[in-house]
Amino acid sequence: MALQSGIALISDLLQFIGVFVSFSIAYVAFKGVKKTESSSLLRLATAFVFLGFGFLLEGAVGLGQLVPSLPLTATAVVVGGLLFETTGYFFLAFSHAVDVVLSKKTGVALLILPVITLTGTQLADVLSILSFYFVLYGVVETVYSYARTRKPDTLLIALGLSLIGVGTFFQWLLLLYLQVDVLSLLQIILKEMGLLILFTPVLRFAVGGVKVDGPV
Amino acid sequence: MAQYRTQVRIIADVLSTARDLNTEGSGVGVTTLLRKGNMSYTRMSKLLSELVGSGLLLELNNEKVSKYMISEKGIQFLSAYQSFEDFAQSFGLRL
């Protein structure tokens, strides 16, 4: 029992590292949007804002369990967190896509229809597996990009995304089939390791100390 | 497949040319900028006016011929652009 609560506490604390890393990446990307008006950076920033809020909500569930007076309904908050996370992975995957084939109406319908026909638990399963596919797509596109640019950082990001992908897959397994605490800890560790690798360009950026007066 | 150049990318290309080809310190002519920038004269003239107006380029009038050199602000812009381009490329993206 003590081991279970210990693992849960570590998992929750790790979620807050995810919050910090995600918002840091979003901050640098937003700075880039302001200076360069790049739509790719805007999608990247949006992705990490959603991921940050996703991790924040998932961490809040843990806090809610530690502090019973906090009025947090676990299932609703977990689903909310997963929804943010999946939306984040969606933007991360489609930061690479230049042309969006789907029309806006079809896209919105595809997003909303499954949501209104599923229960909370089913929704969490669907969101987890969707996250996995989005991350997988992001990995493929990043590796493809590496093949073009041969930039070591790009390969590093592909590795980070792969770790997040495996973590997301474990998360889906947990929700659907297995309720193993160690697997729960492993999935969050993999995701956090992946996120920390994604943090590398931010660190490099911070060391570089970019200064320029306003947008062009 | 031809790659679409964003406006910021075009600005960065023009500024890089003005910086790299200004070997004698007397500026770079419009013909050189046109050749390297790969765009029409009309579009380049408009862009050059905007860049001079925003202080990224300096216009030098030697013997009735306009030449351009990059300003300190332009160098700062290029440095920031390069950093953000590196950042975006790390994630497999193009600016």
User: Domain ranges in chain B?
Assistant: 7-90
In this model, does residue A67 exceed pLDDT 70? no
**Under an 8 Å CB criterion, which residues of A touch B?**
28-29, 31-32, 35-38, 40-41, 44, 95-96, 98, 141-146, 149, 151, 153-154, 156-158, 198, 200-202, 204-205, 208, 210-213, 216
What interhelical angle do B72-90 and A2-36 show, nearest 10?
Answer: 140
In this model, does residue A66 exceed pLDDT 70? no
Question: Per the structure block, which two tokens stand in for A92?
Answer: 């991360």
Rg, Å, chain B Cα set: 14
Contact B6 A38 (CB under 8 A): yes
Is residue B57 helix, strand or coil?
strand
Contact B8 A216 (CB under 8 A): yes
In this model, does residue A210 exceed pLDDT 60? no
To which residue do tokens 């026909």 refer?
A117
Q: Specify burial of residue A16 (Cβ count, 10 A radius: 0-12, 13-18, 19+).
A: middle
| Mean per-residue pLDDT of chain A | 78
pLDDT tens digits along A42-60: 999 999 999 999 988 888 8
Q: What distance in Å separates the CA atoms of residue A32 and residue B95, rounded to the nearest whole number? A: 9
Question: Which of the pair, A173 or A7, is modelled with greater confidence?
Answer: A173
pLDDT tens digits along A6-46: 777 777 778 888 899 999 999 999 999 988 888 888 999 99
Smallest CA–CA distance, residue A151 to chain B, in Å, is: 7
Which residue of A38, A46, A204 to mutate against B (max B Cβ within 10 Å)?
Answer: A38
State the complex-level ipTM.
0.76
Of the spans A87-96, B5-14, B70-79, which averages the highest pLDDT? B70-79
pTM: predicted TM-score of the whole model, two decimal places: 0.77
Q: At CB < 8 A and 24+ separation, what contacts does A103-108 make?
A: none
Of A20, A88, A29, A25, residue with least CA distance to A54: A88
Q: Are B18 and B69 in contact (CB under 8 A)?
A: yes
Nearest residue of B to residue A40 by CA position?
B95
Question: Given 1.10.10.10, 3.30.300.30, 1.25.40.80, 1.20.58.100, which CATH number is that of B7-90?
Answer: 1.10.10.10
Residue A29's contacts (CB-CB under 8 Å, 6 or more residues apart) are A41, A42, A44, A45, A48, B87
Give residue A103's pLDDT band: very low, low, confident or very high (50, 70, 90): very low
In this model, does residue A100 exceed pLDDT 50? no
In the β-sheet with B57-62, what is the strand arrangement from edge to edge?
B28-29, B65-70, B57-62
Secondary structure of A42-60 in the HEC alphabet? HHHHHHHHHHHHHHHHHHH
Phi and psi (nearest 5°) for B59? Answer: -100, 125
User: Domain ranges in chain A?
Assistant: 2-208
Q: What distance in Å separates the CA atoms of residue B58 and residue B72, rounded to the nearest whole number? A: 9
Which overall architecture, per CATH, does domain A2-208 show?
Up-down Bundle (1.20)
| Mean per-residue pLDDT of chain B | 86
Residue A94 host element (H or E): helix A74-94
In this model, does residue B31 exceed pLDDT 80? yes
Q: What distance in Å separates the CA atoms of residue A92 and residue A134, rounded to the nearest whole number? A: 8
Distances (CA, A) of A176 to A19, A171, A192: 25, 9, 22
Question: Which of the pair, A203 or B2, is modelled with greater confidence?
Answer: A203
Smallest CA–CA distance, residue A40 to chain B, in Å, is: 6
Residue A8's contacts (CB-CB under 8 Å, 6 or more residues apart) are A62, A65, A181, A184
Query: Which among B86, B89, B92 has the least Cβ separation from residue A141?
Result: B92
Q: What distance in Å separates the CA atoms of residue A128 and residue A175, rounded to the nearest whole number? A: 8
